[in-house]
Amino acid sequence: MTRPVLLYACPTVPAEPWIVEFRRAMPEVEIRVWPDIGEPAEITHAFVWHPPRGLFARLPALRMVFSLGAGVERLLDHAELPPEIPLIRMVDPSLGRDMTIFVVMQALRYHRRMPEIERNQRARIWSEVDAPMASDRRIGILGYGELGRLCADSLKGFGFDLSVWSRSPRDAPGLRAFAGVAELPAFLARSEILVCLLPLTPETAGILNAETFAQLPQGACLINVGRGGHLVEADFLAALASGRIAEATLDVFAEEPLPADHPFWSHERITVTPHIAALTQPRTAVSMIAVNIGRDAAGLPPLYQVDRSRGY
């Protein structure tokens, strides 16, 4: 292979920190930044986030595409990305750590009923709001992949009664593992705090819906850090109104930024965060890209390739 040429095509993300880290981690690779792509036929690899439509059709020598994010649903929309070109999702240790911190922070907040204690403070009410022992608190995580696993490992450390749900059966020491549609009801029935860490695919779109909420314990809390497309907003607001869901943290939304007049902003029992649960960090993320470009040169299969038939 001639000298690899990596195109940075993330129009919404500042390029500078990435370029610094790319040059440090792989000085042998030439880096170009969209829209100054030079001779398109020289570009061998692309690092993308919300890339311009039509980009891939212009790159005849493309060998591999890296996603800046873990979720790749918007890239799978690009019909011109040839199916034989490996698409690599983001797996970054800092992203995993930040997601763990965020999910643990929110789960502990709901476990200890902090929103209620804060409401009491505003009303000057002295009330000893108690919480069950951690071993009696049932937390469920939808998705037991890179991020779900890290969150589960940390929550396990507090002694929670933890369960996870995935597509295929998984070995999950120290917790209860459920898999597939058939086992979803049993998983939901024991999820007092439900965390969504699924990828957005045709199978998972709208999975946080009325039927799902009806199977949760009364007064459950929801933490959605997957994608906005997982949540059926009208069903969710109805579940909050009925008390089936007591509190929720939403980090991801069908429309981002969340429109200023959206009811979620002002709902007393919803915490809105602006899709910041976990961000990819250039300093730690570049090594996976360098390793994969090296594997490509050595004729080895890439790590973390998206299975396009599954959608993640």
Q: Smaller CB distance to ligand GLV: residue 71 or 115? A: 71
44 binds, among ligand GLV, ligand NAP, none (CB under 5 to 8 A by kind): none
Residues 30-59 that bind ligand GLV (CB under 6 A): none
193 binds, among ligand GLV, ligand NAP, none (CB under 5 to 8 A by kind): none
CB of 103 to ligand GLV, least distance (A): 13
Q: Which of 186, 185, 161, 187 is nearest to 174 (CA)?
A: 161
Is residue 269 within 8 Å of 246, Cβ to Cβ? yes
Number of residues interacting with ligand GLV: please give it, by CB under 6 A.
Answer: 5
Set 176, 275, 283, 308: catalytic member: 275
275 is catalytic: yes
Set 137, 227, 230, 244: catalytic member: 227
> At how many degrees (to 10) do helices 146-157 and 93-111 cross?
50
Q: Smaller CB distance to ligand GLV: residue 71 or 86? A: 71
Examine residue 162 and tell whether it contacts ligand NAP (CB under 6 A): no
Q: Which of 6, 17, 3 is nearest to 48 (CA)?
A: 6
CB of 68 to ligand GLV, least distance (A): 7
Q: How far apart are CA 134 and CA 121, in angstroms?
A: 24
CB of 131 to ligand NAP, least distance (A): 26
Phi, psi of 300, rounded to the nearest 5 degrees: -95, 150
Examine residue 228 and tell whether it contacts ligand NAP (CB under 6 A): no
Q: How far is CA 116 from CA 112, 119, 123, 226, 269, in A?
A: 9, 5, 11, 25, 9
Q: Smaller CB distance to ligand GLV: residue 69 or 115? A: 69
Q: How far is CA 92 from CA 5, 202, 224, 279, in A?
A: 22, 25, 20, 9
End-to-end CA distance of the chain: 29
227 is catalytic: yes
Contact residue for ligand GLV among 90, 103, 197, 223 (CB under 6 A) = 90
Residues that bind ligand GLV (CB under 6 A): 69-71, 90, 280
| Catalytic annotation, residues | 227, 275
